[in-house]
Amino acid sequence: MSSSDLATRISNRLAKDILTGTIEPGTHVATQQIADRYQVSRTPVRDALVALSDKGLLEHQANRGYFVPEEIPEGLAQEIAAQDSEESDVYQTFAEDWLKNRLTEIVTEQSLRQRYSLTKSRLNDMMARAAREGWAERKEGYGWRLLPVAKTSEAFDQIYRFRLAIEPVALLEPSFELDRKVLAEHRRIQEWMLEVDVARTPPEQLLANGAAFHEALIAMSNNPFFASALERVNRMRRLMEYRARVDQERLQVQCSDHIEIIDLLERGEVVEASYFMRRHLSGALRRKSPIARNWSEEMEAEAHSQA
């Protein structure tokens, strides 16, 4: 991947974070901060910041750096949102094709470009996102491998039962250490999500914020086996979660629960937080299992119709 391609992808991700409010107006956007956030080097980040400043999505202040403007031009916001919506539609189609077994495990870039009518640049963006979200990896030499994901209601339920087994216990690890700065950041994100309009916010953004909350808490256990296990199952369930979408009521319950867990941890009530985490995940399983079953039934019906 060239430095210019990487800079473009960084600028796209940063633009989404700004437009959705994940990065708030007035925030100082530092090069190292963004490099750490997206796990990239500083050079393409600097190029991305310049590009967003040229577009008006960042303000450059002499001797101070880049800041998110208090007001983003309406036309610019609409332009970026429209571009993001188009790219997201193609990505969702690609994901659904994998979920419904319409694609083989090994795919070539040429076949994907033809199937989805993509330029090379847009295909690169799509595959980079799939790789970032953990369900595609580049093969050595040629093509891509699509990785296992939860495609059935049984697998979906098993993932949640696995999370029930590890997440509450991780909070009780002897090595658990509270990070108040991380908690404060996730409180801000969860409070923002309580106010957001689901219909106008990319579902992947909402789902990513929820997954990041749980992964941040389990990382505080300082047990890398818990953390890596949760990251893996979160990747495996992500596509089915995208298919189910997010409704306002479910989001309100989820975020309120997350804030309650933060409250308990900040008060030092770790055992109570562990208990509440189990109740929170049990509730999520009850709410989402019917959605997963409906999705599995749709896939079975489609498979029979094509037989």
**Mean pLDDT along residues 226-253:** 81
pLDDT at residue 214, rounded to an integer: 96
pLDDT at residue 1, rounded to an integer: 47
pLDDT at residue 38, rounded to an integer: 76
What share of the chain in percent tops pLDDT 90? 33
- Domain boundaries, given as residue ranges, for the chain: 3-67, 85-146, 153-306
**Mean pLDDT along residues 175-181:** 95
pLDDT at residue 103, rounded to an integer: 92
* Higher pLDDT among residues 136 and 121, named by residue: 136
Whether pTM > 0.75 for this model: the answer is no
Would you say residue 3 has pLDDT above 60? Answer: no
* Higher pLDDT among residues 202 and 123, named by residue: 123
* Higher pLDDT among residues 259 and 40, named by residue: 259
The CATH number given to 3-67 is 1.10.10.10
Q: Which two tokens stand for residue 65?
A: 């750096």
pLDDT-derived band of residue 81, with 50, 70 and 90 as boundaries? Answer: low
In CATH terms, 153-306 corresponds, of 3.90.550.10, 3.40.630.30, 1.20.120.530, 3.50.50.60, to: 1.20.120.530
- Please tell me which of 121-125, 238-242, 268-272 the model is most confident about, judged by mean pLDDT: 268-272
Would you say residue 240 has pLDDT above 50? Answer: yes
Q: Which residues contact 238 (CB under 8 A, 6 or more apart)?
A: 133, 134, 135, 149, 207, 211
pLDDT-derived band of residue 122, with 50, 70 and 90 as boundaries? Answer: confident
pLDDT at residue 195, rounded to an integer: 83
pLDDT at residue 40, rounded to an integer: 79
* Higher pLDDT among residues 110 and 92, named by residue: 110
Q: Which two tokens stand for residue 191?
A: 């409070």
Would you say residue 110 has pLDDT above 90? Answer: yes
- Please tell me which of 83-92, 179-188, 264-273 the model is most confident about, judged by mean pLDDT: 264-273
Q: Give the CATH class of 85-146.
A: mainly alpha
* Higher pLDDT among residues 67 and 292, named by residue: 67
Q: Which two tokens stand for residue 25?
A: 């107006």
**Mean pLDDT along residues 87-105:** 84
pLDDT at residue 183, rounded to an integer: 94
The CA-atom distances, in angstroms, between 168 and each of 176, 215, 216, 250, 273 are: 12, 12, 13, 21, 8
Lowest mean pLDDT among 123-132, 207-216, 290-299: 290-299
Are the CB atoms for 240 and 156 separated by under 8 Å? Answer: yes
Q: Nearest CA to 239 among 120, 139, 159? A: 159
Three-state SS string over the chain comes to CCHHHHHHHHHHHHHHHHHCCCCCCCCEECHHHHHHHHCCCHHHHHHHHHHHHHHCCCEEECCCEEECCCCCCHHHHHHHHHHHHHHHHHHHHHHHHHHCCCCCCEECHHHHHHHHCCCHHHHHHHHHHHHHCCCEEECCCCCEEECCCCCCHHHHHHHHHHHHHHHHHHCCCCCCCCCHHHHHHHHHHHHHHHHCCHHHCCHHHHHHHHHHHHHHHHHCCCCHHHHHHHHHHHHHHHHHHHHHCCCHHHHHHHHHHHHHHHHHHHCCCHHHHHHHHHHHHHHHHHHHHHHHHHHHHHHHHHHHHHC
Output the average pLDDT for the chain: 83
Q: Which two tokens stand for residue 31?
A: 């090069």
Q: Nearest CA to 201 among 21, 10, 12, 74? A: 21
Would you say residue 61 has pLDDT above 60? Answer: yes
pLDDT at residue 209, rounded to an integer: 86
Q: Do domains 3-67 and 153-306 have the same CATH topology?
A: no
Output the CA torsion sign for 212, 213, 219, 224. Answer: negative
At 258-298, the pLDDT tens digits run: 999 999 999 999 999 999 999 999 998 887 766 555 655 56
Would you say residue 306 has pLDDT above 60? Answer: no
How many Å is the maximal CA-CA distance in the chain? Answer: 66
pLDDT at residue 87, rounded to an integer: 64
What share of the chain in percent tops pLDDT 70? 83
